[in-house]
Chains A and B, each alone.
Chain A
């Protein structure tokens, strides 16, 4: 397999809130078509990492580049247009919009028809609407029957928890991004749903061609999907490598479980 190009690169990224250093001197590389998992105990800075990449926070210092293009200082919607999309740890769907509308709304960045043409419904506007509908259906079909058919017109708040998580992924896909940042996609799921998500992430890469950066706590998922694992603790990268290497790395074990009693002497 030829080496894929570097897609996303972070160099010496630093972020503090007040006196608290949340991300410290972080280097990270994600190559095209890779699935990289980010693990670490709570408070390690994983979601902050996502927020930095997507432009919600601005790093105090360091560089973030997509395909060599600098992202720091760009507004979040611009970064999304450039090809990065994300889901949220706590689910942030547009609850009072329908399933399909959620997915259609996310296509704003790569569609063009403005207000005036929408108001009078020019042929170009109607054509684009059709395309938007079509793309939304296509993305939703990724999840089997679950979000298809009558579900399209159901309001997002009426979906079950697992379906809401799926919808958020579909919405991120609809931005036509090339790299997906999934923040704890399997949180709160039962074993069979977790298994499905694991397969789904693989399919997203294999069939959809996405590059994926995942935050996860469930080690089964991490084991099942990752090409590479990065472990963070208190904002610092403490290990990186294959799942086996990272899972057995003593610093990672210590971060999660603390020191072994015998070693404190």
Chain B
């Protein structure tokens, strides 16, 4: 048993899993409240990565930062998260809210339109070439290790930050008034509005949080993998979506666990399954299909009981 391979795969699986978990949260929360599959969510993640890039270069670039590395990183995250949060709210306002009472397929198509629009706007402005993050000088290339377990700073950062964000989210949803409002709105929107909850505000906040998390994930991805491009949201979005479904769409803990499972599965597939690295996406999809067939409501989801 090649332990060092196993640990490597585990570390990268956890890293990937953290990213997918963050993306999955956005999908799950929005679906929970609006029953809408937000196709544009993956592209918000992509925009986050680019916002981080611009923030980095506005602060002097990786070679010549105006502040210390940690501060620059923090600012990158803040910029990406705020920017994406606002973007998410804008998308909801513009493309989904007018369609609340339209036939169910209309918001789906609108989401598709937004996704196409975002991807190609990014192409327009940023160009088709991959952009490098080049943050090595900022963070350092060193790999640390605990025994046989090797990891790099970006990987550690990703996992820790993701865990931190998820804890914050869980506490927020469980304890705060707004969190309670979010939960009740996801159960029954009409009833919530009749109980005095400002449903529009709750939905906007949901989009803000989900998109901010995706934005953070975008920056994390770029820190770990070093390159960003306008199309990166598509596959990441699909996998984040897989994670959300796996965990039970609409469920916050489900999204987190689902993300980790997908990340680990993908990582182990590259290492252990035949022709894993070429077909890694296929294996992830196969996993999703298996889950949908065996347990359509996902791990933590509640089977929808339809009142007839």
Contact = CB atoms under 8 A, between A and B. Distances in A.
Direct contact of A and B (CB under 8 A): yes
B305 interface: yes
B305 A17 contact: yes
B308 A51 contact: yes
A47 B307 CA distance: 10
Interface in B268-308: 305, 308
A47 B305 contact: no
A209 B308 CA distance: 28
A97 interface: no
A47 B308 CA distance: 8
Contacts of B305: 17
Indicate the size class of the contact surface on chain A. under 10
Contacts of A17: 305
A88 B308 CA distance: 8
B297 to A, nearest CB: 14
Contacts of B308: 47, 51, 56, 88
State the main secondary structure of chain B at its contact with A: loop
- Binding site secondary structure of chain A: mixed
A5 to B, nearest CB: 30
Nearest to A88: B308
Nearest to A54: B308
Nearest to A47: B308
B118 to A, nearest CB: 33
Nearest to A51: B308
Contacts of A47: 308
A157 to B, nearest CB: 13
A138 B308 CA distance: 29
Contacts of A51: 308
B267 to A, nearest CB: 38
A121 B144 CA distance: 74
Interface string A56-99: 10000000000000000000000000000000100000000000
A111 B228 CA distance: 59
A65 B305 CA distance: 26
B102 to A, nearest CB: 15
Interface string A1-22: 0000000000000000100000
A17 B308 CA distance: 14
A17 B307 CA distance: 12
Contacts of A88: 308
A56 B307 CA distance: 11
A56 B305 CA distance: 12
A51 B308 CA distance: 8
Nearest to A50: B308
A208 to B, nearest CB: 26
5 contacts: A17-B305, A47-B308, A51-B308, A56-B308, A88-B308
Interface of B: 305, 308
**Which 5 A/B pairs are nearest by Cβ-Cβ distance?**
A51-B308, A56-B308, A17-B305, A47-B308, A88-B308
